[in-house]
């Protein structure tokens, strides 16, 4: 399937996922480590086996086996930012004080090895689309940045982002001409302000030609998804993913999602459908 001519956002993601070859699992060497913004470190991972990961698409997600201070490793999902060459990939990693990411980055050295599991597709451009709404928090800023780089320059783009530091967004984003950006800074969204911005945007939206891509904390995603659907955003042109849940660490959340999926009796191929995946994640987050 040509990602540029997908019927709609959800169908495109589903078809890309089902058409993908076997997952790519490699042991990669850390070949680059650079702080690129106040809250982000760019890591470069290199392995001959990464040549099997092709094509590279916007918002592609991989999982990295991150060393834990307690011993062993834990899988963490991260967005592919760049592909310098067929055997390497760059990831812009959000640093935060809780969890295992900061201790890992503090001790990581060029030459270290980590396991990489690729790839999950999370974006495609639908046919007839010429406008985009992108809402992302700090965990999804790298994905939003990669989507922006893929959007045709004549498309209208509305960005609503939450970042810890106002200098984070300019370091990662290349805004297309005509893009309109609103930044929420600090540790949390200003929810009344976010709702007001959605209302203002909806007053001028052309629903038949607009895609909406949303990724943030589970509670915020729920608010935004409900708000957009009520205002007329077609579900087939809406991708809304909870990248994390407040008060729950990633390992616990992933375990609950796996348990919720097992309880459905569905097969792995069913997770190619973004609607199915969202419903399972919502069920797990309510548990």
Q: Rounded to whole angstroms, how far apart are CA atoms 139 and 157?
A: 20
| Biggest CA-to-CA distance, the chain | 52
DSSP conformation class of 95: P
Could you give the dihedral angle defined by the CA atoms of residues 65, 56, 34 and 92, in that order, rounded to the nearest 10 degrees? -70
**What does the pLDDT read at residue 3?**
47
**What does the pLDDT read at residue 165?**
95
Q: What are phi and psi of 184, to 5 degrees?
A: -100, 125
Helices and strands (H and E) in the chain: how many: 8, 11
Q: Rounded to whole angstroms, how far apart are CA atoms 95 and 37?
A: 10
Look up the CATH number of domain 21-120. Answer: 2.40.30.10
Three-state SS at 61: strand
Q: Rounded to whole angstroms, how far apart are CA atoms 193 and 188?
A: 12
**What does the pLDDT read at residue 190?**
81
Closest among 255, 280, 285 to 268, alpha carbons compared: 280
Look up the CATH number of domain 131-244. Answer: 3.40.50.80
**What does the pLDDT read at residue 5?**
53
Query: Which residues of the chain does CATH 3.40.50.80 include?
Result: 131-244
Run of H or E residues at 274: helix 274-286
Run of H or E residues at 32: strand 24-37
Pairing relationship of beta strands 180-185 and 73-82 according to DSSP bridges:
unpaired
Cβ neighbour number for residue 192 with a 10 Å cutoff: 8
Output the pTM of the full model. 0.93
pLDDT averaged over consecutive 10-residue blocks of the chain (287 residues)?
A: 65 86 93 98 98 93 93 94 97 92 96 95 91 96 96 92 94 84 87 88 84 96 93 92 92 92 85 86 90
- Judge contact between 9 and 124, C-beta under 8 A: yes
Q: Rounded to whole angstroms, how far apart are CA atoms 227 and 233?
A: 9
- Judge contact between 194 and 184, C-beta under 8 A: yes
Query: Which residues of the chain does CATH 2.40.30.10 include?
Result: 21-120
Q: Which residues pair with 156 in a beta bridge?
A: 131
DSSP conformation class of 23: P
Closest among 250, 245, 246 to 282, alpha carbons compared: 245
Q: Per residue in 194-215, is it b (16+ CB within 10 Å) or e — as a string?
A: beebbeebbeebeeeebbbbbb
């Amino acid at each position: 399937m040509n990602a540029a001519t997908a019927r709609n956002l959800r169908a495109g993601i589903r078809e890309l996922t089902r058409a993908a070859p076997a997952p790519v699992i490699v042991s990669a060497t850390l070949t680059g480590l650079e702080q690129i913004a106040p809250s982000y470190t760019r890591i470069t991972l290199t392995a001959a086996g990464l040549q099997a990961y092709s094509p590279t698409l916007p918002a592609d997600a991989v999982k990295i086996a991150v060393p834990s201070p307690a011993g062993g490793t834990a899988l963490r999902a991260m967005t592919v930012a760049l592909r310098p060459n067929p055997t390497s990939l760059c990831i812009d990693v959000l640093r935060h004080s809780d969890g295992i990411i900061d201790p890992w980055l503090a001790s990581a050295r060029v030459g270290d090895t980590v396991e990489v599991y690729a790839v999950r597709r999370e974006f495609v451009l639908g046919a007839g689309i010429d406008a985009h709404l992108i809402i992302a928090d700090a965990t999804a800023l790298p994905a939003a940045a990669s989507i922006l780089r893929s959007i045709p320059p004549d498309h209208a783009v509305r960005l609503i982002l939450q970042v810890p530091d106002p200098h984070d967004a300019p370091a990662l984003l290349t805004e297309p001409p005509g893009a309109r950006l609103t930044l929420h800074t600090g540790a949390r969204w200003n929810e009344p302000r976010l709702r007001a911005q959605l209302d203002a945007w909806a007053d001028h939206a052309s629903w038949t030609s607009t895609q909406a891509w949303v990724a943030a904390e589970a509670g915020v995603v729920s608010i935004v998804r409900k708000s957009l659907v009520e205002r007329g955003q077609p579900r087939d042109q809406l991708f809304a993913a909870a990248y994390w849940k407040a008060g729950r660490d990633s390992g616990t959340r992933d375990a609950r999602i796996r348990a919720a999926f097992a309880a459905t009796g569905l097969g792995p191929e069913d997770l190619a459908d973004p609607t199915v995946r969202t419903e399972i994640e919502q069920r797990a987050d309510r548990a």
